Amino acid sequence: SQSFDKVHKMKEGLARRSVTAEVKKNAVFCYYPQPVIPYAQSAFESNMKIHLEDESSRFFLMEIISCGRKASGERFRYRKYASKVSVWRSGSLIYRDNTRYEPEKMDMEGIGMYEGYTHMANIFLTGGSEELQQNIWEILEQEPECDGGVTKLVQNDLAVRIFGQRAQKLHAVAREDAVEDHRPDVAEHDAADEVRHEEHRAEQIRPAHRLGEHIGQQERDDIDDDGRHDGEQHRPPQRGSEFGIRK
């Protein structure tokens, strides 16, 4: 997407985003929407369904949710944020994440939730390895501004969660570990053109190595009407969300 996804205040109802993608054999799909910034009293639901044709189909996801407009005093002032991600391979469900936050009903700053952080990155990568998993742990342990975890799934895919104080920092950490060192060379995959991406609104897909640079510029550009910084984000594993993994 061309800008941070700002979910504006609403008296009732909610905003929805729906993404359905089919990744063909030997194709690669990298999906990195800009961070979601939920304004006070807003409500947002996202539903993502990814179908991988077989083991050669590659998928890389990174989505970020912020606490809201922190500089405007809107830290966790939204009504609801809900995100469902389902990934199938060869017709079988291999990953499901169901994240749901309702700050009026939950202690978002408490143990098992954000614990003082403001941004969370949710990352999914196909075809991980033991070496990659260990590299991610080492990077997270050495990064004082972030906290997180990595889980190896049944079919050797990886699920990563990272918490931090800035969207730019989370993207930088993600680039340093799985995304930067193990991203596929999309140019080598002729079948990448076969990826069908259907959304209720247009999203832009960019190579992983350009992601951090673009986010850095976008975070500098995202200033609200009061001249305050609008970009924010936060932290990983099974806090306030549930994972479902099947063979």
pLDDT, position 17: 94
pLDDT, position 163: 93
Q: Give me the mean pLDDT over the 228-243 stretch.
A: 40
Residue 40 has pLDDT above 60, yes or no: yes
pLDDT per residue over 155-176, tens digit each?
Answer: 999 999 999 998 888 877 776 6
Percent of the chain residues topping a pLDDT of 90:
51
pLDDT, position 1: 61
Q: What is the DSSP letter of 39?
A: P
pLDDT, position 169: 83
**8-17, 71-80, 111-120, 205-214: which has the minimum mean pLDDT?**
205-214
Q: Give me the mean pLDDT over the 81-96 stretch.
A: 96
State whether residue 34 is helix, strand or coil.
Answer: coil
Q: What angle do CA 218, 222, 228 make, to 5 degrees?
A: 145
Distance CA(170)–CA(234), nearest Å, equals 8
Q: What is the DSSP letter of 71?
A: G
